[in-house]
Amino acid sequence: MEILLLGTGSADGWPNPFCRCASCRWAVDTGEIRAQTAALVDDVLLLDCGPEAPRSAMRHGRSLAPVRHILFTHGHPDHVGPAALLMRHWAGTAEPLDVVGPASALDQCRDWVGPDDPVRFVEVGPGDDVHLGAYRVRVLAAAHGSDIGGDAVLYDLESVGGRIFWATDTGPLPEETHAAVAGAAFDAVFLEETFGNHTGHGTEHHDLPAFAATVATLRRSGAIVEATEVVAVHLSHHNFTGSKLAAALMDSGARPGRDGEIVGASRPAQRRTLVLGGARSGKSAHAEALLAGEPAVTYLATGGMREGDPEWAERIRLHRGRRPHSWRTVETVDIADTLLTAETPVLLDCLGTWLTARMDLRRAWDDGGLDGVHADIDELVAAWRACPVRAVAVSNEVGSGVVPPTASGRLFRDLLGVLNARIATESDEVLLMVAGRPLRLPAQ
């Protein structure tokens, strides 16, 4: 994923064209001219598009003709420049365009497109999860903009090329947003830092102390990890200048963004993998091979022992014999806490036996306790999403067999299908084992 920063300044940019303060004079003298904050992702997606963004793209050698998606965070005028849609209309562009954002932004744009323009407006709010071409977009709550209806949002943007957090404009993040990004291990975070050492601003923006506190919380939750690039944007003349600002941000492991710079967010090695397959397809052996190079692994065995079943006991003995002695086996069906607190890579084998145990516990076979099973699935999916280490899960693929002849069999099949699909959605890769050979399934 390539992110071109079209602007890194606040609403009035930096320098403010009407200001004579020392900070603005420094910006003019050194040529550090920052336009209003916006970014172009992979040449096809705009993150905010204020009035300065189209011309900024031209200055940095990029055409906006390939853009297929515009994501607005809120309706403030430095983030919404609807004239860009009229420019696109005049160019006669026939390709479809998604215009995504809260109502405060979209309402300003609807009158700027022609009746036959291939433009789709997608209104979103916190908690929404949408797919735009090659991108998955999770919409998060911001602390900003009560004067525009309080509907400002932030974006967790992910593709096969990486995952980034676009967090402008906002004050200190709401708890629901911290919870939503926990464990995300972003490749890059673009966090607004408007007011520098001016802490008495009384606005829903970050100053340097608030910025440091937000970054620290994101690090503790696993949203920011060692490899994450943390870039301060939406900078104003209230900030320190030059190396002094860089030093202040360095204390948080961050740096100031600059107009025209390109940030590359490359996807690290796959972190969450789901291995599906039918009986004897080789799914467990392949899952173990994926972690064979790890010095220590926590093996979550959800099947346990079965009294009076020698065949099952022999299968367990063979499984244990394949694992390195350095691996730690935990036999349990209460796996959410283990996933959330894991310090070494985890192998979960398997989701089918886990689901069977939870259905037994909830007495779901008698048409009771289904709400409890669904709550267990919700908890497991959340823990899988937030797991801070490399994790591999094994499950039975249920979509290829005959219809089970019993009601209980059909119930299990249906629930496992739901569980598999939800875990797959939160996985970096999904493999289907056929005759011992893995097939990598495409992303949605």
Catalytic residue, from 60, 89, 201, 319: name it: 319
Q: How far apart are CA 387 and CA 442, in angstroms?
A: 22
Q: How far apart are CA 412 and CA 362, in angstroms?
A: 13
What is the pairing mode between strands 162-167 and 188-192? parallel
Residue 374 bears catalytic tag: no
**Contacting residues for 22 by C-beta, under 8 A, at least 6 apart:** 241
Rounded to 5 degrees, what angle do the CA atoms 204, 206, 207 make? Answer: 125
Chain-centre distance for alpha carbon 96: 25
Q: How far apart are CA 274 and CA 381, in angstroms?
A: 12
Count of beta carbons in the 10 Å neighbourhood of residue 359: 21
Question: Taking the CA of residue 54 as centre, how many other CA atoms within 13 Å lie in the half-sphere pointing to its CB?
Answer: 15
The C-alpha torsion from 166 through 169 and 175 to 179, rounded to 10°, is -10
C-alpha distances in Å from residue 424, one per residue of 4, 245, 428, 431, 434: 30, 42, 8, 10, 18
C-alpha distances in Å from residue 261, one per residue of 7, 8, 256, 426: 9, 10, 11, 31
Identify which of 68, 63, 116 has the alpha carbon closest to the alpha carbon of residue 89.
116
Chain-centre distance for alpha carbon 90: 35
Contacts 24+ apart (CB under 8 A), 415-421: 415/355, 415/359, 415/364, 415/373, 415/377, 416/351, 416/352, 416/355, 418/377, 419/351, 419/355, 419/377, 419/380, 419/381, 419/395, 420/274, 420/276, 420/351, 420/395
**Which active-site residues does the annotation give?**
319
